[in-house]
Structures are given as C-alpha cells and as structure tokens.
Structure 1
C-alpha cells in the first residue's frame, strides 16, 4: 500500500511539473513579423566576429539597417509615418506608386538584403551568400500567394529605399569607417591623466579607435546638439573625488564574486569574439520581437529605434572621449595605488570617459521602454552556447530581466566590475543615453 501511495505521489508531482506554464512563452509570430525577425538575426550573423568591425562602425550600420527596415514597410500602414524630412539631412525617400499593390514583407526582404550587402561589403563572401540565401528563401515563401507583378514591384521598391538610404549614409562622416579604424597620424595628448594604449587590451594598437567619430552626423538632429558633459578634474590627492573614483575600481577588483565576474563577461562583447556591444542591444530587439510578437510595422520600428539610438549614442560618447582623452583605471591605479595591478577584463583601445556600454545600453533601453513599457520580463540569451571562458573560469548562462532599464544598469556595472571604467563613467553614460533615446522617441513615428 505504501508503494502505491508513493507511486501516486510521484506521478502527481510529475504531472504538476509538466503542467507548469512556461514563464516566457514564445508567441506564434505572424509570417510578416517573422521576416523582420529573421533579418534582425541575419544582421548579427554577419557582424559576429567580423574582421575590421568595431563598436563604432557596427553601431552606425545598425542605425541604417533598422531605419531601412522601417522605411520599407511604413507606407503600407495608416498608423505610422516616414522619418524622411525628420532625420539629419534626409530630405526624401522613394514612395510606392499610387494605386498599385505592394507586398511590404517582400519590400522589407529586398531592402534588408540590399542595405546589408552595402554596409558590410567587406564581409567574407560566405556571409554575403547567407544574405542572398535568406532573401531567396523568403521570396519563395511569398511567391505562391502573391501576384508576379506585385512581387517584382515590391522588391524594386525595397531596393530603391535601401539605395536611397545608403546614398545618404555616405555623407555622415563614418562611410567606410572600417578602412581607417586606427589613424597613425592622430596626435593624442600625453601626460598625467591622459589615455595610454592598453597593456592588457582587447587588441594591440598604439593608437585610439576612430578619434574623429564624434564629429559624425547623428540620426536625430537633437542628438547633435547635446553638450559634452563635465567630468571630475584630475588629481592624485587621496581625498579628491578623482582619486576615490579610481580607488573604488581597484578595491572592487580585489573582491569580485563569481556573479560579478559573470556579469563582467556577459556584457564584455569584444567585437573580435561576439557581435559587439551595439550588436548586443540589437539582439535584445530580436529577443523582444520574438517574446512580444508585435505586428510587422512595430517590429520594424523596434529595430529602427534601437539601431538609431545606439548609433547616436556612440557618436556622442566618442565626442566626449576625444574631448578629454581620459585615462583608464589601469593607468591611474598603477601610477598612484598599485604598480602591479591588472584589471579583471581586457580594456578596449580608446579613452575612458564616458562609458560606451552605458550610453548605448541606456539609449536602447529608453526606446524599448517607449514601445513595450517599463516592466517587460524576458531572458537575454545573447551568449547562450558560447564556450566557457577557461582563463577566468566563467560560463555564459542566459540572464533574466524584468525591465529594459535593468539591462542598461547591469551593462554599465559590468564595466566597473571589469576594472575598465569608474562609476562616474557609467553614471554619466546612463544619463546621456537616456537623453539620446528620448530624442529618438520624440521623432514623429505615428500619424
């Protein structure tokens, strides 16, 4: 009898376990929305460990890719309006022929293929072939249910939009930026408090990355007028705010917990190993679209807002970096606190103030909040399946969040844990990113 009862209880427990609802159920996406999602994923597939790609050039590319996606579908709706004549220097874009039928998912399909091949013309041939393969596969899915003339007209329209946006992109200051990542002719200041090329860095370079990127055109005109924020004045006095900022980084690096190390690694996003920091934000857009299941135009709007937000974030951040040429904690700590110190995470090849991770994560979170609310539960799977970091003994385990802003705060904090940014760098980056995202939100998206 006891065996029967135990068996009954075990079966009952198993049944309860099976009936537990999935806390993050994946909606069945509309086929049109699926087209947008697949192109968002393809974009990051191209960017993953892409030689010559950088956070700066990558962010710019995401801005144009997301905008192209949106503009290829916006004229098929009665709820949204084009951003032409709202963005810096973009006066007009091609329009659909009046009275003609279009399949806007096919327009998006053609537009994404065209813009990605233009933006990433330097990518390996096999990656560009993936673009052609996806375009052909999506065409095949819609051809059987779409009249031939509509198929042709829609693809032509999408390509025309993409070509117009790409032509406009050539005048922003960052065109083919991958050809001049490091400028040997750039003269950066030397002395106490100034940036030095990293000893323990992501890559070996004696010059800083894209020193003139801060002069590039922004997408939202309002983001070009943001003043460079002030930073704490240099000092070696132990009671000064400057000293305390760097001493806090040093102290924290002595006592990092396994969880703090995992956070530093999750948001590291070295472009030679991942799809870069802005790619992480764009992947959050992928996850949100997959989780929320919006209609096609909202999905495209999601990519456009995130892409332009991170692009403008990097322009403004680089303006500050090359105004101050501020040193990293490694330089200051070794000169004033501990000559033998090495930070936990490899540092990138450009000045510190303020944090690029912080500004672009905050800008992205701000635009996602505007679209999906301040409370949105999801799992960040960006690095799921990535091999264990054997040097630091860290596994890449997906992370759960209850809001977009929580991702921004954690991304910022990761740089403090990594030993490559002070809290000031991160806090100001978050504040500036929120302003930048708000300016993207303030564009007129709805009719």
Structure 2
C-alpha cells in the first residue's frame, strides 16, 4: 500500500511539474525577483566602476528585454515598437511550454550578461537562479524552453542596443579641458579625465534630440565678490563650514559616486558606491513591493523609470559639456581657500546641470504618475553599502532632497540643482506622455 501511494504521488508530481506543466500551474514570480536581479546588476556595475550615464543605458536595455517578453503575453502591456525611437517590432519566438515571467527574467539576465563588461557574474547568478526554479518545481523542459525564448528576445534587443551609436564614441578624439577661468577642470584626489563627453550623441529613447529640454543658462562665472556667481560660490563654501549633522546625513545618503577614492598610505583605493540611477531603480523596486504590484506591472514600472533615466542623462550630459562650468572645489581653492575640501568627492565631469538632480526629477515624476503624490516609503537601497535607511513622504520630496544634497556635499551650486530638477521633471513628463499616449493608441488599434 505504501509503495502504491508513493507511485501515485510520483505520478501526480510528474503531471504537475513534468513535461505537461502549464503556465497556470507554475509558481508565480514577483517584484522581489526583479529587485534581486536589479541588485545583482548593480553589484556588477559597482564591480566594473560603471559610470552613471552608462549605468542608466544598461538598466534601460536590460529592463526592455523583460518588458517585451511580457508585452507578448499580457494584454495590459503594449510593445515599445512605434513608441521608442527606432525601436523594432520584436518577433515572437515559436516556443511552446514556457513560463512568461521566468522568460522575462531570463531575457533580462541574457542582456545583462552581454551588455555588461563583467557579464560572467550574471551568468553565475542565472545558474543559481535556475537551481532555485528547479526546487520550486519547474521542469527541465519549461526551463529550457524559457531559456530559448529569452535568448531570442535578448538577441533582438541587443541588435537595437548596437544601433544607438554608443560604440562609435570611442572613435572621437580624447576630450581636452577647455581653457578659461570659468571652465571645468579635473579635480582631486584622482584628477580623473572627463566622463562620457560625447554621451549626447547616443540615440535617446523618447526625446526628439539631446537638446530638446535644454535648461536655462547657468549663472555666469564672475570673479567679482559682489556678483551673483560669487555669492553662489560662497554659499557652497559656508555650507561646508557650518554643516549641520542632518545636512551631512543627507549628503552622504545621496552620494552615489562610483568614482570616489580614498588615500591609503601611498595607494589610492576606490570606494564601492552605486550610481544615482541604480538608487532610483532600487526605489522603484521598493515602491512596487509596497504597492503590491503584480509581476507585469513591476516590469513596466522598472522599464519606464529606466527609460527616463537614460534620456535624462543624455539631456543632462548634453548641457554639461555645453556650459562646461567650473566645479565649486576648483573655484573655492583658487579664490577663497586653497586647502578647502568638499564633504563629498567631486565627480569627474562639468558642474551644470546636476546629474543627480536631473534624473531624480525625472524618476520622481514617473513614479508619482503611477503611484500618486503622497506615496510614503522607506528607502533602504544602500543598506548593504553601509548607508542607513531613510523615510520619505513622497517621491518628489526625495527628489528635492537628492538635489539639495549636492549643495550640502559641496559639489554643486544651487542653480545647477534647481534647474536640474526642473529639467528632469520635464523629461519625466515627456517620457510618460510618449509611452502612455502611444501605448493607448496601439491598444485601441489592437482592439
């Protein structure tokens, strides 16, 4: 009798988890699985010291890979074909008996493996992930079919990646800092060369051009101590000298500088820090979890935020190398105090506008559109990097704090933060209008 029961259980297990598995029988994947994957992608970026604009580019294409899988199976989602600039119709692979959500995650992993320099780290993560899927009851057939489907989607996304002109940037001549008192120049302690001076040549995802949302001009450099510029410079200087503890905490919380270095005897050691885009992708995961978004909704929100990040960085970097404004650290050392050091290390690119302010404005607009203006949450994105969690009452309050943190940290002037936030809000609004309007039209046509 005991043997018969064992055989019956084995037969039932085979029917449920074997070659006859159906989509509705499979365990559900959740937002938490997306969050874990994005955390791993971020870990690889930290390992590779991926610069902020490039990190946003990675997030966008990785997210799009999962989104396009889900759009082929979920009627609430529409393909980005005809929505994003030059985005192709993604052919649906002829693969049966696969899990849609598993395939989406695997497509994201496949693209992350191909696009990131240390993609082998993602490959190991994928192997461990699939082992956990087997423990959940996914059959080898379902896993294999899902992998095949994911590979076909990722292959098509990678063709789109290769057409965005980023690969041609290496053909441009090396950037040389411009002569002039008010122009940017590399800063201590490492004096890194300018980062991504040609990022504005990359194809935007939704923008008409990199300069579509060109911000107001920066306050002009002026050595006169009574000038608006010098008063703004003194604000940065005096903030550091009287820095309250809360301002110090805010600056550290939003630091997000992958290039930070620390002197260690005769050596200079890099500090492990995530990029601004990675921070907002983490906030997106937290928000999706709290709002109890299903898998498809979470994939969409991560994708739209990532699209906003990439376009915001393209727009911001276009302005940075146009205005090419001097950093506070350089100006304060020359005109006020030669020994002055900002609380945060100055990142290696021109000052105006503030990148973190711009992408925070864009991300906050997008998340507010989906989740409302009074969405409170606890931001614990960087706890694993030694940064304590912080509570916020809305995405906009977080964006405003991220912006002013650059003043507290001594790396930006006030106008770069305020105009950067305004620039980002316009981009976020444009991204939402472009994606939601076009998706609605496509959905109406499909009906």
2:53 corresponds to: 56
Query: 1: CA distance between counterparts of 2:288 and 2:339?
Result: 46
Tell me how large the CA RMSD over aligned residues is.
2.4
The Cα offsets for residues 391-443 of structure 1, whole Å up to 9 and x where unpaired, read as xxxxx321000101111111111110010100100011101111111122111
User: Which residues in structure 2 correspond to 1:25-64 (within 5 Å)?
Assistant: 31-47=29-45, 49-64=46-61
2:204 corresponds to which of 198, 201, 218: 218
Structure 1: where are the runs of 5+ without partners?
Answer: 1-28, 388-395
1:12 corresponds to: none
Query: 2: CA distance between counterparts of 1:184 and 1:430?
Result: 31
1:237 corresponds to which of 224, 228, 245: 224
Higher relative contact order (CA 8 A, sep 6+): 1
Matched position secondary structure for 2:378? strand
2:4 corresponds to: none
| 1:435 paired to 2:426 | yes
Q: In the superposition, relative to structure 1, how do residues 279 and 33 fare at CA in structure 2: closer, same or farther (>3 Å)?
A: closer
The Cα offsets for residues 19-68 of structure 1, whole Å up to 9 and x where unpaired, read as xxxxxxxxxx9534443333233322322x22241112111101111211
1:331 corresponds to: 330
Q: In the superposition, relative to structure 1, how do residues 398 and 225 fare at CA in structure 2: closer, same or farther (>3 Å)?
A: same
2:62 corresponds to which of 53, 65, 73: 65
Structure 2: where are the runs of 5+ without partners?
Answer: 1-26, 259-270
In the comparison of the two structures, how many residue pairs are matched?
399
The Cα offsets for residues 271-290 of structure 1, whole Å up to 9 and x where unpaired, read as 25122111111111121122
- Tell me if structure 2 keeps the 8 A contact 1:327–1:352: yes
Shift of 1:189: 0.8
1:6 corresponds to: none
Query: 2: CA distance between counterparts of 1:223 and 1:435?
Result: 14
Q: In the superposition, relative to structure 1, how do residues 354 and 221 fare at CA in structure 2: closer, same or farther (>3 Å)?
A: closer
- Tell me if structure 2 keeps the 8 A contact 1:55–1:278: yes
The Cα offsets for residues 219-241 of structure 1, whole Å up to 9 and x where unpaired, read as 11346451422222221222322
1:108 corresponds to: 104
| 1:419 paired to 2:410 | yes
Query: 1: CA distance between counterparts of 2:83 and 2:275?
Result: 28
1:368 corresponds to: 367
Query: 1: CA distance between counterparts of 2:137 and 2:34?
Result: 14
1:315 corresponds to: 314
- Tell me if structure 1 keeps the 8 A contact 2:113–2:122: no
Matched position secondary structure for 1:400? strand
1:340 corresponds to: 339
Shift of 1:386: 3.5
Shift of 1:384: 1.5
The Cα offsets for residues 73-111 of structure 1, whole Å up to 9 and x where unpaired, read as 11211222111121111131122559x665211211220
| 1:173 paired to 2:162 | no
Matched position secondary structure for 1:91? coil
Shift of 1:360: 0.9
1:138 corresponds to: 133
Query: 1: CA distance between counterparts of 2:31 and 2:53?
Result: 28
Matched position secondary structure for 1:333? helix
2:174 corresponds to: 185
Shift of 1:140: 5.2
1:16 corresponds to: none
Q: In the superposition, relative to structure 1, how do residues 139 and 64 fare at CA in structure 2: closer, same or farther (>3 Å)?
A: farther
- Tell me if structure 2 keeps the 8 A contact 1:67–1:303: no
The Cα offsets for residues 113-156 of structure 1, whole Å up to 9 and x where unpaired, read as 21110111x21744531233224433653525xx93x5544432
After TM superposition, the score normalised by the length of structure 1 is 0.83
The Cα offsets for residues 299-347 of structure 1, whole Å up to 9 and x where unpaired, read as 0011101111111111111111111211001122222233332222110
Shift of 1:261: 0.7
After TM superposition, the score normalised by the length of structure 2 is 0.83
Q: In the superposition, relative to structure 1, how do residues 337 and 124 fare at CA in structure 2: closer, same or farther (>3 Å)?
A: same
Matched position secondary structure for 1:143? coil
Query: 2: CA distance between counterparts of 1:176 and 1:372?
Result: 38
Q: In the superposition, relative to structure 1, how do residues 223 and 365 fare at CA in structure 2: closer, same or farther (>3 Å)?
A: farther
2:155 corresponds to which of 155, 158, 163: 163
1:273 corresponds to: 272
2:14 corresponds to: none
Query: 2: CA distance between counterparts of 1:299 and 1:432?
Result: 26
2:23 corresponds to: none
Shift of 1:186: 1.8
